[in-house]
């Protein structure tokens, strides 16, 4: 593995193909890799999280709920990604395969696609090389609840109900893909964290569709950092306790809410903020996340939090010990 770019080969056998519940385990029984600066990585279980945080620490979670954002046609699938303020949506067209789907380069501006339920999707224009701005002839979220299924990529062996793609914190529908870092939380684990004295505060960031076949930076996403959460983050930072983001979406939202004076304030809107080692992080001191694809932009954010050497050491350990990648896989806690 090249530490600088975190360029490595991910063996196919390390992709989690199904939820851990299917393997007879609870959500919080996945493995937890713990990185603490220069120390050797620790190997724990996710349910050990209360032992790794202390009274006064703050855990910030994403309360965005996952939509059944994929609509399947005979040969194509439409992935609804992001709602725009004018009522249009960003969508990705994909060609259906035996396993799931793959990128589809076709489509023309003005083209109409007939969807199930006598709905019609009109392609308005390309927003990015793979995303179209499009208009559906009816309310999208209601349509998806009737005809959509969760987005699934080829590393997942089969379809799972939408409940498998929701976290315990999910209350605000809007994400195309699950904010998966918080998936292992259970109600019992949340209770244990609160009993330990760990604070929990929400933000909202609706995720768009990923680009598993491409190395692309994230595009603009809708987010909100409530005033109460901003105050709790500031209090924790000024008190010297930890602010741990449960997911890269949380880091993106909080860093987008940092003002010129370095303080976190209530904020909402669209963010294009890209966390890199050069920019660093100001609103978090730790990150709870999954294991990410080689060369993905998420690794730049992880490098900003952990440091290049610590992150390379952690990924070498994860590969060596057979940790599982992707939304149903194992997790990684990065602490200063």
Give the lowest-confidence range in 118-127, 208-217, 302-311.
208-217
**Residue 160: CB atoms within 10 Å:** 17
Of 225, 256, 245, 191, the C-alpha closest to 59 is 245
Residue 4: predicted pLDDT = 55
Residues near 8 by beta carbon (within 8 Å), at least 6 away in sequence? 1, 2, 294, 315, 319
The pair phi, psi for residue 296, each rounded to 5°, is -75, 155
The pLDDT of residue 1 is above 70: no
Residue 129: predicted pLDDT = 86
Q: What is the pLDDT averaged over residues 187-203? A: 98
Q: Residues of the chain with pLDDT > 90: what percent?
A: 87
The pLDDT of residue 233 is above 80: yes
């Amino acid at each position: 593995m090249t530490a600088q770019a975190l360029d490595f080969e991910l063996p196919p056998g390390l992709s989690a193909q199904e939820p851990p519940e299917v393997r007879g385990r609870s959500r919080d029984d996945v493995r937890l890799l713990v990185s603490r600066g220069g120390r050797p990585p620790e190997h724990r279980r996710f349910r050990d999280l209360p032992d790794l945080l202390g009274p006064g620490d703050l855990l910030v979670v994403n309360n965005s709920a996952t939509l059944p954002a994929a609509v399947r046609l005979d040969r194509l699938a439409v992935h609804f990604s992001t709602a725009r303020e004018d009522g249009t949506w960003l969508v990705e067209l994909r060609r259906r395969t035996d396993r799931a789907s793959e990128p589809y380069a076709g489509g023309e501006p003005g083209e109409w696609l007939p969807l199930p339920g006598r709905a019609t999707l009109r392609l308005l224009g390309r927003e990015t090389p793979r995303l179209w701005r499009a208009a559906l002839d009816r309310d999208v979220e209601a349509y998806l609840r009737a005809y959509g299924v969760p987005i699934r990529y080829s590393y997942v062996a089969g379809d799972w109900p939408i409940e498998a793609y929701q976290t315990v914190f999910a209350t605000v529908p809007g994400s195309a893909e699950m904010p998966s870092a918080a998936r292992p939380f259970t109600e019992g684990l949340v209770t244990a964290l609160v009993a330990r004295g760990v604070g929990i505060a929400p933000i909202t960031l609706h995720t768009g569709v990923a680009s598993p076949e491409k190395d692309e930076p994230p595009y603009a996403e809708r987010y909100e950092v409530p005033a109460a959460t901003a105050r709790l983050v500031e209090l924790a930072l000024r008190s010297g306790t930890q602010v741990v983001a449960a997911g890269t979406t949380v880091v993106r939202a909080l860093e987008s809410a940092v003002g010129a004076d370095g303080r976190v304030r209530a904020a909402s809107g669209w963010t294009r903020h890209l966390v890199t080692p050069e920019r660093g992080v100001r609103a978090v001191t730790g990150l709870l996340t999954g294991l990410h694809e080689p060369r993905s932009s998420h690794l730049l954010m992880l490098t900003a939090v952990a440091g290049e050497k610590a992150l390379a050491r952690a990924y070498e350990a994860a590969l060596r010990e057979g940790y599982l990648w992707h939304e149903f896989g194992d997790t990684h806690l990065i602490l200063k």
